[in-house]
Chain A
Amino acid sequence: MSVRLKVPTQLRQLTGGAPELDVEAASIRELLEKVGGDHPELLERVLDEGGEIRRFVNLYVGDEDVRFLEGIDTPLKDGEVVVILPAVAGGQDPMPS
């Protein structure tokens, strides 16, 4: 089951600059465990010490915030896109062009 994880700009330094990662995973938990294997610091930014999603981190599957689904146990289907965004409005901080 291949899913795609979209990494926000603030965390890309932890993925070697990669904006997206393709991962074989059947749930958010498995996705994060696998990503955490290669990028432990990324995992640390997303989950707190108790293994819960951090207060200021939002995770989306498709259009839905996983807090409306089954949280970290939300199952994933083949081809689904998971997005990490800062909860405080989110986004990069572009400088003016």
Chain B
Amino acid sequence: MAQVRELRCRECDRTYAVAPVHVCEFCFGPLEPVYDYDAIAASVTRAGIEAGPRTIWRYSPLLPIGDGVERVDLGTGCTPLIKADNLARELGIKHLYLKNDMANPTHSFKDRVVTVALTAARAMGFTTVACASTGNLANSVAAHAARVGLRAFVFIPADLEEAKIITTAVYGANVVAVKGNYDHVNRLCSEIAQTMPWGFLNVNLRPFYSEGSKTLAFEVVEQLGWEAPEHIVVPAASGSLLTKVHRGLSELHRVGLLDTEPATSIHLAQAEGCSPIVAAFRSGIDHIRPVKPQTIAKSLAIGNPADGYYAARVVRKTEGTAEAVSDDEIIAGIRLLASTEGLFTETAGGVTIAALKRMAAAGAFQDDGRVVALLTGMGLKTAEALSGRLGPTVEIQPDLEAFRQALDFLDLEGPA
């Protein structure tokens, strides 16, 4: 791992050799890779990146994997950045873009972190990988592990959406359903990790895993013609994605791919039923008060978010905003996106759209800058959240007269 010199504690700056370690043994703070930015700056260019593969690996100089390491790659990244004029008009936003990470191999942004983490895991010699997951990570770990013949254990809350369980089990992973919420699953994994020689993505592989999220920022900037947007709206579970998007933007400037330090405001979206980071941001305190999640946005239902403290700080520092939205708003957000832009996102995406709506109404985008909202996962995985709320518009007998009568009930106002 040539470009990573060491791992460093975010809290106390103690350094560690590059290895599967994730918390500082002194203060328990999280460890992060330290790059040799000067060396990267000397060799990385926009043209070089543009000539690279159409995956996140085009940004490999800024990922914690050395040259020549065999990648675990299903073709993740370079997902569409869509100009969303219909939704923009609906919400009163001047320039709105949607980053469609539903287009990844297992249909969520988690493929970004998994391709990096499993590449690191294999290079370190692990033959079994494991994770605690609310579903999307489980899908992705199972798929990538299958591709390269790693044994996978995924630990999920037992009440997860059925679709997310099936779309994990199909790859042949060992799916362990735990009778509890994500925080119970996470704690169990912490204890298992003390006894098993496994690569746990969100435990001992965390410093490598979370770096993959930076590529969302890299792609948005490249797709905007190597310019940082004025606003990014990010859904938050652990808060890791948001902090890494911020770090990714800073790094682009640090290595000379952006001429000026990005002035992007980073906005945070959570569900009301699980909004400990929004609460910390609003109260102005650093401490995250854990909560017991109660929301249909199960992929965001982390009551004790590991990076929540840093996420709240990033929002504050970049002059972003934070919104928490109700389950009804989440459903409305999913439907609004689908009916205006033809994109079906999962409940976490509903959180993002609903929060975007609130932020726009509250004047967060009054500078008329470019707003990028991250759609991190696709709707089919959580379709059951909509069951009972959507169905056929009308049901009729198979004859023409019945249809004519039914027309009275149908929407004749819409496009022909």
Task: Look across to chain A and name the residue whose beta carbon is closest to the beta carbon of B286.
Answer: A55
Pairwise interchain contact B194-A96, C-beta atoms closer than 8 A: no
Query: Measured between C-beta atoms, what is the minimum distance from B292 to chain A in Å?
Result: 8
- From A23-31, A62-70, A72-80, the one touching the partner chain is A62-70
Does A45 sit within 8 A of B, measured CB to CB?
Answer: yes
Pairwise interchain contact A87-B304, C-beta atoms closer than 8 A: yes
* Binary interface encoding of chain B residues 259-272 relative to chain A, with 1 for a CB under 8 A from any of its CBs, else 0: 00000000000000
Residues of B within 8 A of A94 (CB): 20, 193-194, 196-198, 204
Query: Number of B residues whose C-beta is below 8 Å from A?
Result: 47
Pairwise interchain contact A92-B193, C-beta atoms closer than 8 A: yes
Residues of A within 8 A of B21 (CB): 93
Within residues 184 to 198 of chain B, which ones have a CB less than 8 A from any CB in chain A? 184, 186-187, 189-198
Residues of B within 8 A of A90 (CB): 23, 186-187, 189-191, 193, 203
Task: Look across to chain B and name the residue whose beta carbon is closest to the beta carbon of A11.
Answer: B25
Contact of A63 among B184, B192, B304 (CB under 8 A): B184
Pairwise interchain contact A88-B200, C-beta atoms closer than 8 A: no
Pairwise interchain contact B28-A96, C-beta atoms closer than 8 A: no
* Residue from the set A57, A68, A88 with the largest chain B CB neighbour count within 10 Å: A88
Pairwise interchain contact B193-A91, C-beta atoms closer than 8 A: yes
Does B287 sit within 8 A of A, measured CB to CB?
Answer: yes
Query: Measured between C-beta atoms, what is the minimum distance from B296 to chain A in Å?
Result: 22
Pairwise interchain contact A88-B26, C-beta atoms closer than 8 A: no
Pairwise interchain contact A57-B28, C-beta atoms closer than 8 A: yes
Inter-chain CA distance A45–B202, complex, in Å, is: 22
Inter-chain CA distance A88–B23, complex, in Å, is: 7
Pairwise interchain contact B306-A87, C-beta atoms closer than 8 A: yes
Query: Measured between C-beta atoms, what is the minimum distance from B287 to chain A in Å?
Result: 7
Pairwise interchain contact B20-A10, C-beta atoms closer than 8 A: no
* Binary interface encoding of chain B residues 1-40 relative to chain A, with 1 for a CB under 8 A from any of its CBs, else 0: 0000000000100000001111101111110000000000
Residues of A within 8 A of B132 (CB): 89
Query: Measured between C-beta atoms, what is the minimum distance from B342 to chain A in Å?
Result: 37
Residues of B within 8 A of A95 (CB): 19-20, 124, 197
Contact of B199 among A10, A88, A96 (CB under 8 A): A96
Does B126 sit within 8 A of A, measured CB to CB?
Answer: yes
Does B107 sit within 8 A of A, measured CB to CB?
Answer: no
Does B289 sit within 8 A of A, measured CB to CB?
Answer: yes
Pairwise interchain contact B187-A96, C-beta atoms closer than 8 A: no
Query: Measured between C-beta atoms, what is the minimum distance from B202 to chain A in Å?
Result: 5
* Binary interface encoding of chain B residues 206-227 relative to chain A, with 1 for a CB under 8 A from any of its CBs, else 0: 1000000000000000000000
Inter-chain CA distance A65–B29, complex, in Å, is: 18
Residues of A within 8 A of B307 (CB): 88
Inter-chain CA distance A83–B290, complex, in Å, is: 17
A-B contact pairs, 7 of them (CB 8 A): A10-B28, A45-B28, A55-B286, A88-B30, A91-B203, A93-B19, A97-B127
Chain B contacts to A: CB under 8 angstroms: 11, 19-23, 25-30, 124-127, 132, 180, 183-184, 186-187, 189-200, 202-204, 206, 286-287, 289-290, 292, 304, 306-307, 309
